[in-house]
Structure 1
Amino acid sequence: MEHTVPYDPRPATGPEPVRVGLVGAGPWARTMHARMLGAGPETVLSAVWARRPEAARETAAPYGAAVAASFEELLDRCEAVAFAVPPSVQAELAVRAARAGRPMLLEKPLGPDLDAARQVADAVAEHGVVTQLVLTKRYHPVTREFLRRAGEFEVTGARSCYLHGAFRAGALATPWRLEQGALLDLGPHLLDLLDVAVGPIASVRGSGDPRLWSELTCEHTNGAVSQASLSGSVGLDRARTRVELYGPAGELTYDTAELDHEECWPVLRREFAAAVRSGTAGPIDAARGLHLQKLIAMAAGGALRTSRDTTWR
Structure 2
Amino acid sequence: MTPIKVGLVGAGPWADIFHAPMMAAGPETQLTAIWARNPAAAEKLAAKHGAKAVASFYQLLDSCEALVFAVPPDVQAEYVPAAAAAGKALLLEKPLGLSLEQANRLADVVNEAGVVNQVMLTNRYSERVRTFLADVQSKRPIGAIATYINGAILPGGLFATPWRREKGSLLDLGPHVIDIFDAALGPVVEVQGAGDPRSWFGLTLRHQNGAVSQAPLSLATPVEGEVTGVRVFTDQGEVTMDFVGAFGDPKAPATIRAEFSAAIRSGKPHDINVNRALYLQTLLDKAARSAGI
Shift of 1:229: 1.1
Question: Match of 1:280?
Answer: 268
Pair 1:179-2:162 in alignment: no
The 3 A distance-change label for structure 1 pair 165 and 283 is same
Shift of 1:52: 1.5
Is the CA contact (8 Å cut-off) linking 1:297 and 1:304 kept in structure 2?
no
Pair 1:76-2:62 in alignment: yes
**Match runs of 1:1-313 below 5 Å:** 15-169=1-155, 170-256=157-243, 261-301=249-289
Cα separation, 2, equivalents of 1:40 and 1:237: 34
Higher relative contact order by CA 8 Å / sep ≥ 6: 1 or 2? 1
Is the CA contact (8 Å cut-off) linking 1:240 and 1:257 kept in structure 2?
no
Q: 1:210-262 CA deviation, whole Å, 9 max, x = no partner? A: 00111011010111111011001112221232111112211111113799621
- Structure 1 residue runs of 5 or longer lacking an equivalent are 1-14, 306-313
Cα separation, 1, equivalents of 2:222 and 2:276: 31
Cα separation, 2, equivalents of 1:240 and 1:143: 17
Cα separation, 1, equivalents of 2:219 and 2:67: 28
Cα separation, 2, equivalents of 1:284 and 1:79: 20
| Aligned amino acid, residue 15 of structure 2 | A
Is the CA contact (8 Å cut-off) linking 1:180 and 1:304 kept in structure 2?
no
- Structure 2 residue runs of 5 or longer lacking an equivalent are none
Q: Number of residue pairs matched?
A: 291
The 3 A distance-change label for structure 1 pair 59 and 179 is same
- Alpha-carbon RMSD: 1.6
Following TM superposition, the consecutive aligned residue runs of length 4 or more in structure 1 with deviations greater than 6 angstroms are 257-260, 302-305
Cα separation, 2, equivalents of 1:123 and 1:241: 35
The 3 A distance-change label for structure 1 pair 213 and 65 is same
| Aligned amino acid, residue 122 of structure 1 | D
| Aligned amino acid, residue 174 of structure 1 | T
The 3 A distance-change label for structure 1 pair 281 and 79 is same
Is the CA contact (8 Å cut-off) linking 1:90 and 1:110 kept in structure 2?
yes
Cα separation, 2, equivalents of 1:284 and 1:262: 19
Cα separation, 2, equivalents of 1:234 and 1:153: 34
Shift of 1:62: 2.0
Question: Match of 1:8?
Answer: none
TM (norm. structure 2) is 0.96
Cα separation, 2, equivalents of 1:255 and 1:218: 20
Cα separation, 2, equivalents of 1:33 and 1:102: 17
Is the CA contact (8 Å cut-off) linking 2:194 and 2:290 kept in structure 1?
no
Shift of 1:153: 1.5
Shift of 1:161: 1.3
Cα separation, 2, equivalents of 1:179 and 1:52: 21
Cα separation, 1, equivalents of 2:99 and 2:215: 20
Q: 1:66-117 CA deviation, whole Å, 9 max, x = no partner? A: 1111000000000000011100000110111111111111010000011100
Q: 1:270-295 CA deviation, whole Å, 9 max, x = no partner? A: 00111111111121000111001001
